[in-house]
Chains A and B, each alone.
Chain A
Amino acid sequence: MNRRIIFLCVIVVVIYPLYNPIGLPIPISPLTRQLFDYTDALPSGTIIVIDPWMSTGSYPELNPMTVVMLNHLMNLDTKIIIINTHHPETLGIIKDITIPMLDIPTDKVYGEDWVFIGFIPGMELGISSFASNPKGVVTKDGYGGDLTKLPLMQEVTDGSDFDLWIAVGKPDYALRQVQEVYNTPMTCLAPGGGAAEAMPYLASGQLKGVMISTRGAAEYELLLQKPGLAVSGMDATSAVHIFIILGIIIGNIYYVLKQKKIVGNKVLE
């Protein structure tokens, strides 16, 4: 089959449900329920660090998960530190795209209830540096203010003061540098392709909960009763998945029939 026909069909099955939503029900999976229940039960005053590993290419998948998790945390009595150890471009994504999308309650004060720390270079090294000395590795927050003067940062001296670390993307680095060293509980917002990497840590108890891809974000939005970006894309996801599945099934039926004709010819010879 000419692949241009497949490309055209993909365009149609993605665009049509976006303009004409079908509104398929989205059942809540036990994995998402587990993460929601854990997060909802966090004690008052919990200090949470969230480290989104989003690039400009992966943010369409990871941003809905980050936004829904931050919206949930902002409506609890928790304190949030948003950091970025991934890439300089993630700084711009978090500052200009993610944070403006948040539904921050009016009683949440920047500096007291939540802080955005800019880019900490080094990836796993950056996580290790930040966990060992949060106020020493960078002195300015993501908006150019003095980090050391923010009330929330006065409460943390090292990783043992963090009550929860949320990894958005790969959980391995934070597991090695934070969970193992300071015994900090961790959860993970994993992309679809990285879900298999997170599952062993969930089974061992090192991760307390996992959200998988935009489907997990859609389920979380429904649990929060605030449908948003992730739910709106689920119909298009369903349409593309069904298109691919039908294409695979039809292709394999054609393949089997073609094989039988070849075998049939040999028998006749």
Chain B
Amino acid sequence: MENPLKRIEVPIFLTGVLILLLLLGWGTTITFLKQTSKLVVNSATLIFSLGLLTGLVSVILGNTKKVLKRSEDWYISAWTIIVACVMFILGIFSNPFGEHVLFTWIFKYVITPISATTFSILLFYMASSTIRTFRARNLDALTLLITTILIMLRQAPIGAAIWSGFGPIGDWILTVPSMAASTAVLFGVAIGGITLVFRLVTGKERGYLRRG
């Protein structure tokens, strides 16, 4: 006989109930509903932090499979496992706030500069792609090009050194047309969010579940 807890209706029902509890607690003055809503939020915070541990386990298991199968670049997976385990063990043997000297040293002088460098590399690719491919092929592209140049001259002090008008023009672009477009996007996102909540509560949205 099929295990009733494995039926897909169970998580769908739980999702709907929890969302309704959250919605009922918002904007109400009934103490029980407010407290229940807070309990749901605090429980989700706990689950989120446990999710970090799940992520670590998932990374180690996924990379272990690659190492065992000797897939392409398996040695990078082996290095990932070693680094993850070292940082996890150092974290376990420090106090809860990462005061282990080696843990802090690795984070401050290895991880942080490497991550900052990785993001900084984007500058080179953005400069290269912008210069090589940004062409005014039609009116829309020309408008985008001119706007981009005006905003860049607003952001860099050299724009004001060339002509003092670039600052006010850039500010106008940010506070009028860009703001209007962002507001429209926000409305769309908000309406999409309401639709998504409705679909989650009624069980029509099942993307977060296993297939089906």
Seen from chain A, the residues whose Cβ lies within 8 Å of a Cβ on chain B are 1, 3, 6-7, 10, 24-27, 29-31, 55-60, 88-89, 91-93, 96-97, 118, 120-123, 125-126, 128-129, 132-133, 136-137, 140, 142-144, 192, 195-197, 199-200, 202-203, 212-213, 215, 218, 234-235, 237-245, 247-249, 251-252, 255-256
Contacts and interface: CB of A to CB of B under 8 A. Distances in A.
Given A238-B156, A247-B130, 14 more contacts: A10-B124, A27-B164, A57-B119, A58-B119, A93-B112, A121-B46, A133-B38, A200-B179, A202-B179, A234-B157, A237-B155, A244-B131, A248-B148, A252-B135
23 contacts: A24-B161, A27-B167, A30-B171, A31-B174, A92-B112, A96-B108, A97-B108, A97-B112, A118-B97, A132-B41, A140-B96, A195-B174, A196-B174, A196-B178, A196-B181, A200-B182, A200-B183, A203-B179, A218-B157, A235-B157, A241-B155, A244-B130, A247-B130
* Chain B interface category by residue count: 35 or more
A55 B99 CA distance: 20
B28 interface: no
Contact of B132 (A3, A24, A132, A196): A3
B49 A121 contact: yes
Nearest to B117: A57
Interface in B82-132: 95-99, 104, 107-108, 111-112, 114-116, 118-120, 123-124, 127-128, 130-132
B38 to A, nearest CB: 5
Contacts of A24: 157-158, 160-161
B179 to A, nearest CB: 4
B134 A251 contact: yes
A144 B95 contact: yes
A94 to B, nearest CB: 12
B108 A129 contact: no
Contacts of A118: 97
Contacts of B148: 248
Given A30-B171, A199-B178, A57 B115 contact: yes
Interface of B: 38, 41-42, 44-46, 48-49, 52, 95-99, 104, 107-108, 111-112, 114-116, 118-120, 123-124, 127-128, 130-132, 134-136, 145, 148-149, 152-153, 155-161, 164, 167, 171, 174-175, 178-179, 181-183, 186
Contacts of A121: 45-46, 48-49, 52
Contact of A245 (B41, B152, B174, B186): B152
Given A92-B107, A122-B45, A122-B48, A248 B38 contact: no
Interface of A is mostly: helix
A242 to B, nearest CB: 6
B118 A251 contact: no
A244 B127 contact: yes
B131 A247 contact: yes
A237 B45 contact: no
**Among A6, A31, A58, A235, residue most surrounded by chain B Cβ atoms (within 10 Å):** A6
A235 to B, nearest CB: 8
B157 A238 contact: yes
Nearest to A121: B49
**Among B116, B128, B152, residue most surrounded by chain A Cβ atoms (within 10 Å):** B128
